[in-house]
Amino acid sequence: MHFRLFYTIICFLLTTVTFAQSTFPNNGPADPRPNNVMLRRATVVVAPGNVQTGTDILVEKGRIKAVGKNIALPQGCQEIDCSDKWIYSSFIDLYSNYGVTSWQPIKSNQGRGQKLLSEKPGAYYWNEAIHPETNAFEYFVSDEKEANNLRGQGFGVTLSQIKDGISRGSAVLVSTGEKTPSSNLIIDERVAQGLSFSKGSTNQSYPSSQMGSIALLRQLYYDGIAQDKATDEKNLSVEAWRTNTNLKSIIAVNSWQEVMRAVKVAKEFNKAYIVKSAGDEYQRIDAIKATNMPLIIPINFPEVVKSDDILDLDKISLEQIKHVALAPRNPGILSQNGIKFAITSDGLKEIKEFREKLLLAVDHGLDKDKALAALTTVPAELIGESAQIGTIETGKWANFFVMDKNYFDKKAKMTSHFVQGRKYELYNLPDSTRDGKFLFSTSIDNDKYNVHITKSNKEINLVYQDTLKYKGIISVNNNKINFSLDPKGSLDGKYWSCSGRLDGKDYYGIGQNQEGASFTWTLTLVEEIRDKKKEEKADSLILMPETKVLYPFVGYGNEKMPVAEKVLFKNATIWTNEADGILKETDILIENGKIVRYGKNLSEAGAKVIDATGKHVTSGVIDEHSHIAISNGVNEGGQESSAEVRIADVINSEDVNIYRQLSGGVTASQLLHGSANPIGGQAAMIKLRWGAAPQDLLIKDADQFIKFALGENVKQVNWGIQGRNRYPQSRMGVEQVYEDYFSRAQAYIADRKANPNMRKDLDLEAIAEILQAKRFITCHSYQQGEINMLMKVADKYKFRVNTFTHILEGYKVADKMKAHGVGASTFSDWWAYKYEVIDAIPYNGAIMHSVGLVVAFNSDDAEMARRLNQEAGKAVLYGGVPEEEAWKFVTLNPAKLLHLDSHMGSLKAGKDADIVLWSDNPLSIYAVAEQTYVDGIKYFDRAEDKIKQATIAQEKMRLLRAMDMMSAGGMKSEGVRPKREVLYHCDSEEE
């Protein structure tokens, strides 16, 4: 018996796996023995929801040969009793970089200045963020330590990709085994392609914003289409891209809003994405569900917030605290809504946190079978590998792990993991061994001795005659044990040095005695010593405090979206912006999102009546030049033209500045690209529908605009050394940019007409639309010479500049502007804030108005937009503009400049019910917006706002107090991390 035990141990330690003939030579005799094994009488989770008890699994040559009861044992097959074990299919991680970290980005040799082109040698794409020719399998090398960590958390397979760039190349499906060569671990070398909206590690200047990244990805798609139709250019990247588009596409995003952006790109090109999301999908679950796209979700839930200082309340936002409470519920919410998803370990600080986080998700509503499916059958299905992995079925790879209890029992421990048929012991995993009282016996001694292992495997004692204790030396590494016992002659000079492992409840192994003789030994468990406090903690169910989702997901959001009402304002002063002018003691009715009528002594059945005596009702303020509600960069300044980028691609519906500006009576804004280059990006027209999804903020059927810019910003005199090599560097160069692009756009229009199949250039497409009067220019401008220049260029190419914005020297050329037919959107009284505007005067707006220009005042600033009513009042102060006309500077006139005056800008019957109830004359510095309506929906109410402020403070305190208690109870916590708020301006740059 002892010989057989010893032989089994040695065979186990020497077990080697072979699957087929290797092309690699051997250094010494080869071991051709197959690793065949039979696991007996286990509880086998064949697939999620399919549990079979007393079941055998036969493994031959790395694959599952049979699954069932009482399977005949083949000759020479190792047999393992798993009567008290649970066996699960290995997990699959679809978003990993395991084994491919040796890939390195292009090393730049460029010194100072902007890097405009790729430095990768060869016929590759011009931008380093685009490298579809990269194949992860070419870089794959197994990593013993990382593989062990992955196996210890149940992962037997990863889909590994290069996590860098926008087009990342192909991903490789590998097992987490350990073999030389690494190629034997590759299951499928090209399974999917990786995409993202992040340019990654390249220091190339373009893209410098997320809208630039999206535009670059879109252009790549069009380049692939052009390559398909044959072009003269040989581009290996585009050729690889065309090949990769036949693979599954996994796109990585950083928020639910970016999920929607990915969906928009996919629809444009009729593609289906698998979206690696951010774990915040619960915030817009209906919108996510409507996409019908599968997700790969992380479970890197944030730790509970521990606040030691009452001042922390001001440092952390309510949405941050709410996310801590709701993030663990995200997987369950997705599952309950029928959304298909896989789970990834990506984002965890350490892989060993994975099971803890997964169990936390189960505690917060994720069904156990759905959890298993998200790690086995779903990922296998998403990448088309269900025939090989994902379940414990005949013919599939023998990838499964063994637990001593049900996986979802918090006390359960993994005992081993089989990957491609090879059994791996688990290392560096906590709590796999146990303290207890044991009987120690050896193969060369008939005696049995009492041995106690205590203090979490850190102390071993030989107990003799129940009273004498002889301390030994012990080292326990997971389920491996090394110890020595030396009773110092009290037991006839006996000494044992032993090594072995845990098998079930007992240890066994080999050792040597004081004479150097080898023997086998066992430590048989008699009584387990339990840590009751630790067990109580493991058994306890700690749930995050309940809290509700808000729309949008910020403190001032609403639990339910407001709806349009029938409202009658009585006895107000009405600023019609129509021929009727300003009417006192007048009523106005809105219904179904429209203005119905105004007049004296109105009544309407079923209408909500508001006493507006002493108050003023106006149309909503319209900001012609705004940079709010934009994500991840307002400037794409990497090139002289960024006409291909679209603000509409990166609208941020969660920006609290939407709410703040509603409190100042703003109901619509034009979101503009910055002024980093002569030809900027495409604008977006939005209404401030607080709580609506990004695409629902856009004004339907609005004319399309684009931002141009003149002056210091575009020639980069204020950019420092990094801006000294991008064209243009002078005002003369700015003119030549326009000449170049408009002449090229003319040729592009002619070429496209002659050959509709030619390459689609997104940059020239937008500029061509200007020449075709399909897109209109809003131009950042200051000095008269440049203003004249652009009008002359426009005259030469037979189009009209729509608006000069800022236009602080407009008073000098107002007559020429009127002749050209351009409008003016200026500042009220900005001057002397930089040398470029040295000639600016506060009478600018009034002078241009007197000449007959359509004049508006804009904000270009998130804070100023809250006080545009006061800016309009300055037109009265500086230049004596009549009050009624001054008010049009921020209402009807910007509506005209934006071609929206048929729908908004005045209180005409039939127009959109974008109205504001003011406490006083809206031009007064004492006036405040009491209520603001957009499309007849009340999005701001000052009285309700006071309640919201109190609710926010109370909810923050409630959640923080609950989390403090959870932290005190032993749950991991972290301190307060203030959220950085970004306010964009024309010259804002963000990498």
Domain ranges in the chain are 33-90+390-420, 91-102+118-389, 436-539, 556-619+906-946, 621-904
Structure tokens at 497: 């040095």
Structure tokens at 98: 């395991």
Q: Which amino acid is at 667?
A: T
Which backbone phi and psi does 364 adopt, to 5 degrees?
-105, 25
Rg (CA), the chain: 35
CA 23 centroid distance within chain: 43
Classify domain 33-90+390-420 at the CATH class level.
Answer: mainly beta
Q: How far apart are CA 872 and CA 665, in angstroms?
A: 13
SS3 580: coil
- Alpha-carbon gap, residue 664 to 890, rounded angstroms: 12
Contact criterion met (CB below 8 Å) for 133 and 169 = yes
**Strand pairing class (37-47; 86-89):** parallel
In this prediction, residue 491 carries a pLDDT of 62
Amino acid residing at 394: T
| Chunked mean pLDDT (size 10), the chain, 991 residues | 40 40 65 80 99 98 97 95 97 98 82 80 96 97 94 98 98 90 85 98 94 98 82 88 97 99 98 98 98 98 85 86 97 99 98 97 98 99 98 98 97 95 70 73 85 77 73 79 75 81 83 89 85 59 90 97 98 99 99 98 97 99 98 93 99 98 99 96 99 98 98 75 75 96 98 93 99 99 97 98 98 98 96 90 98 98 97 97 99 99 98 99 99 99 98 94 86 78 71 49
How remote is the C-alpha of 113 from its chain's centroid?
Answer: 31
Q: Which residues of 472-502 are buried (b: 16+ CB within 10 A; e: fewer)?
A: bebebebbbbebbbbbeeebeebbbbbbbbb
221, with CB counted inside 10 A (0-12, 13-18, 19+), is middle
- What pLDDT shows up at residue 4? 39
Please give the sequence-ordered ranges of beta strands (E in DSSP) within 662-746, or none if there are none. Answer: 666-671, 679-682, 684-687, 704-709
Cβ(33)–Cβ(19) under 8 Å? Answer: no
Q: Which pLDDT does position 5 carry in this prediction?
A: 42
Domain 91-102+118-389 has CATH 3.40.50.300: no
Model pLDDT, residue 226: 86
pLDDT of residue 727: 87
State whether residue 250 is helix, strand or coil: strand
Token digits of residue 903: 């729908």
Measured CA to CA, the distance from residue 44 to residue 755 in angstroms comes to 62
C-alpha torsion angle, residues 183, 184, 186, 189 (rounded to 10): 50
- Architecture of the domain defined by 436-539: Beta Barrel (2.40)
pLDDT for res 723: 53
Which residue has 């207890």 as its token pair?
436
Nearest CA to 234 out of 117, 124, 130 is that of: 124
What the block records as the tokens of 224 is 């692939």
Q: 556-619+906-946 — its CATH code? A: 2.30.40.10
Same CATH topology for 91-102+118-389 and 436-539: the answer is: no
Helix (H, G, I), strand (E, B) or coil at 184: helix
Domain 621-904 CATH (choose: 3.30.70.360, 1.10.540.10, 3.90.700.10, 3.20.20.140): 3.20.20.140
The DSSP code for 821 is T
User: What one-character-per-residue DSSP string does 398-458 give?
Assistant: --EEEESS-TTSTT--EEEEEETTEEEE--S-TT-S--EEEEEEETTEEEEEEEEEETTTT
